[in-house]
Structures are given as structure tokens and as C-alpha cells.
Amino acid sequence: MNWIPWLLAGWLFFVGIYGVISSRNYVHLVGCLAVVQSSTYVLLLSVGYRQGAGPPIFFHIPPGRAVDPVVQALVLTDIVVGATISALLLALALQVHKVKGTLDPDQLRPLRR
């Protein structure tokens, strides 16, 4: 098994998390969250990858060696989730900017006490 995709997934996860923790702008933060999510795409795709196998499309072709179609379906679902969350967060960021005039998480604190 090739270890490069695993390393990449781990790298994307932690670099994205670092971005989320240190971000000073919500739009940037949404981008970082998308980076964290990309790590799950890489992880899932590498789970299903078979060396030298073809795409999992068997129409008119006798079933042969193919990469795992299940994880590809999972990634597709994952992408839909990612799009929903990014859209929602960006819409919230837009509204916050309208109300408060800033997108810096340090200046946006929900109710205390």
C-alpha cells in the first residue's frame, strides 16, 4: 500500500485545523474548514483505490478489476455535505458582516454569562 495519500490526508487535516484555530477572518475560516474536509476525500479515495484497476463502470463491459465504487459514492455524499456547510457558513458570515461590520472571530463573541 502506498503511504503518500495517507500522509497527504493527515497533512491536510492538521494544516486545515491549524488554519481554523488561528484564523482572523470568517471567510478564511470557511476555506480552512474545506481544507480539513478535503482530507476526508483523500482518505476515502485512497481506501478504495486498487493499483492498475479501472473505473467501476460495467455497462457493456464484462466485470473486471475496478476501484471500489462504494467509497466513491461516499465521497460524492461528502462533497454534497461540504457544499451545504460552506454555503450555510458563508451566508451566516454575510449576515454577521451586515450586523457587526466585522468578520474577525476575536471581535465576534456570542452572549457571555
Partner 1 sequence: MTPLVPLPVAVPITVAAFLLASGHFLPRRVPDLLAMATALAMTVISAVMATRSVSGPLTYWFGGWSTIGAQVVGIRFQVDPFGAALAAFAGLLFFATFIFAWGVFEKIGALFHVLMLFFLAAIDGFVLTHDLFNLFVWFEVMSVAAFSLTAYRLEASALEGAMNFTVTNSLASFCVLGGIGLIYLRVGALDFSALSQAVAADGGDPLFLGSFALLATGFLIKGAMVPFQAWLSDTHAVAPSPVSVIFSGIMVPVGLFGVVRLYFSVFAGSGVITTVLNTLGLWIGVASALLGGFMCLTQRHLKRLLAFSTISHVGVMLAAFAILSAPAQAGFLLYLLGHGLTKGALFMLSGLLLATLGGIDEIGLRGLGRQVWPAGIAFAVGGLLLGGAPVGLMDEGTRLIDAAASQAHRDWAALACLLASALTGGAVLRATGRIFLGWGKVAGEEERGPSEQEQEDANRPLWLLLLPAVVLLCLALAEGGTIQRYARLAVVALMSPGQAAHAPVPVPKPPHPILPWISTLLALLIAAFDLFRDRIPHSILVTNDRITTPLRHLLEPMHSGRVGDYVAWIVAGLAMLAIALSVAS
Cβ proximity to partner 1: between 57 and 111 the closer is 111
Cβ proximity to partner 1: between 61 and 80 the closer is 80
Q: How far is the CB of 60 from partner 1 (least distance, A)?
A: 22
List residues binding partner 1 (CB under 8 A): 13, 17, 20-23, 26, 29, 33, 36-37, 39-40, 43-44, 47, 68, 70-71, 74, 77-78, 81, 84-85, 88-89, 92-93, 95-96, 99-100, 105-106, 108-113
Question: What stretches of the chain show up as alpha helix (H) in DSSP?
Answer: 4-22, 26-48, 69-100
> Are residues 37 and 61 in contact, defined by beta-carbon separation less than 8 angstroms?
no
Cβ proximity to partner 1: between 4 and 111 the closer is 111
> Are residues 5 and 24 in contact, defined by beta-carbon separation less than 8 angstroms?
no
Q: How far is the CB of 61 from partner 1 (least distance, A)?
A: 20
Dihedral sign computed on CA atoms, order 82, 83, 86, 89: negative
**Cβ-count burial of 20 within 10 angstroms (0-12 exposed, 13-18 middle, 19+ buried)?**
middle
